[in-house]
Structures are given as C-alpha cells and as structure tokens.
Amino acid sequence: MPGERRWLRILRDVAEVMFILGAFGALLLWCSVPDTSKLVDENPDSTAFIDLRKDENPRLKLQWTWRPIGRISRYLRAAVIYAEDYNFYRHDGVDWGALEHAVENDLSHGQLAVGGSTITQQLAKNLYLSPNKSFIRKLREMLIAFSLEDDLGKQRILELYLNVVEWGDGIYGAEAAARAYFRRSAAALDSAQSALLAGALVNPRLLVPSHPSARLLRRQRIILSRMGSVAPPPPAPIAPIAEPVVDSPSVAPLLESTPEAPASDPPPPPAP
C-alpha cells in the first residue's frame, strides 16, 4: 500500500542518516586519539589528572619523582598487576571478559558505571582524559588503550602507569608513594608494603597505606594470597631509606617474569 511504502522509505532514510552520523562520530573519535608513539622514549611532563588537580587546588604540593621500572620493587609490580589487572599480559588493552562482567554487574544494580578497566585503560585515562564517567569518554579511553598497546611494550606501559598513578593527595607515582608512606625508595619496598600500596589504588585519597584501615588490610591479604603469601607479615616499622630487598624464594610467578610476559601462568585468584 502507498502509506506502508512511504513509511518504509522514511525508515530507510532514517537508517541511512544514523549510519552516516555513526560513521562520522567514529571518525571524530579516532581523530581525537593523541599520538602515543612519543611515549616510547619520552616521559610525560604532566598528566590530565595532575593538571585537573592543580586547577582544583592551585596550592597543591605535588610529590612526583620519576623512576625507571628497574628501580621499582618487583613486589610492587606484581602486586599492582594482581590487584588491578589480572590478565595484563594476555589482553590487547581491553579485557573483554572483565568488561562484560562489569557491565552485567552494573545493569544488575540499575546503573551504568562501566568498570573493568585494564592498567592500559587506566593509563590512557590518567594521561589524556578526565575522571568523569560517560559512554563517549569510555570509548575514547579504549581507543587510546589500543594505541598505547600498538606503540609500547607491556613493560613500558607498566612503567608509565606506576609513575603517573595517584597514590594520595598530591602523591603521584611509586617513588613518591614509597617515600611518603614508608620513608624508603620504591626499589626497597617489601611484599607487605607493596600489597598495601596496590590495595590503596582503588581509592587512594581515602585508603592510607601507612595507617591501613580494616578494608585496606583485607585487600592486602587478598593481594598477598594471589602473590603466593598465605598471610601478610606483621607491619614493618617506619624505617630510613633502605637498599632494595633481596628476592624471597616464595615470590609469585610475576616476580620471576621476563621483560614482556610472566614465566608461567599466575595462580588463580582466591574465591571471594
């Protein structure tokens, strides 16, 4: 009938317009991806998150000292991976399984926060984006993560993340965090201190590694269990700057990893 054909033409035209707008939007998103290749051998002078905090508080006392990954405790490297991104060495920037689980969890609670970010995505967000949550920002975060994975090796991504992530008000990077909370260098952190620092990343302005809450201590136990320790050792007293610790024979597989991948699969995480 003429009326039905008219509506079919309208629907077809709408579909074509939506397709064109979608393709145009995707092109704009892709063009908004920054050049990440310069990070191969250049360290950032600042980050989007640091600039935002400076704008919020012009009197902020910034504590930030860059350290190459070889001068960051291998305990901390392993603890952060087990705490933040279990499949770090296995994904291409986005952990689709973790993302699917996060979306299902959000929908079951009647919201759309969309978590499940990998270390690469968190690095992308810290370097170039904002903490504001939106679907478009999440898409940009994923595109930048793919670019980071294309341009950089896993160890460089981990090095950048450990040096730019926030660990407290004005405290950025592993070296500043180690000195602020334990009065030692990032290279000298032991397994217990590393697990506290990694556990605090979920809310670095609330969870204080030098004075851990019950919540942070629970996270420390979980992380140490994933690293191969049954229970955390007693809290270490605040000590002067020390030399790097000697590796324990009970270190986790990630502590014995090659520059680009773990030597063997890590143990499965404990049941919640």
pLDDT of the chain, 272 residues: tens digit per residue: 555 565 555 555 555 545 444 444 555 565 678 999 999 999 999 999 999 999 999 999 999 999 999 999 999 999 999 999 999 999 999 998 877 665 565 555 444 444 579 999 999 999 999 888 888 888 899 999 999 999 999 999 999 999 999 999 999 999 999 999 999 999 999 999 999 999 999 999 999 999 999 999 999 999 999 998 644 445 555 444 444 443 433 334 455 443 333 333 444 343 33
The answer to pTM > 0.85 is no
Cα angle for residues 63, 55, 145 (degrees, 5° grid): 75
Q: Which residues pair with 64 in a beta bridge?
A: 172
Q: Which residues pair with 63 in a beta bridge?
A: 171
The pLDDT of residue 96: 86
Q: Which residue has the tokens 């942070």?
A: 216
Long-range Cβ pairs for the range 185-188 (8 Å, 24+): 185/71, 185/241, 185/242, 185/244, 186/67, 186/71, 186/72, 186/73, 186/76, 186/162, 187/67, 187/71, 187/72, 187/73, 187/243, 187/244, 188/73, 188/241, 188/242, 188/243, 188/244, 188/245
| Domain spans of the chain, in order of start | 49-256
Dihedral sign of CA atoms 93, 164, 170, 181 in order: positive
The pLDDT of residue 136: 85
The pLDDT of residue 17: 46
Pick the CATH number of 49-256 from 3.30.565.10, 1.10.3810.10, 1.20.120.450, 3.30.70.270: 1.10.3810.10
Q: Are 220 and 213 in contact (CB under 8 A)?
A: no
The pLDDT of residue 11: 56
Residue 224: CB atoms within 10 A of its CB come to: 25
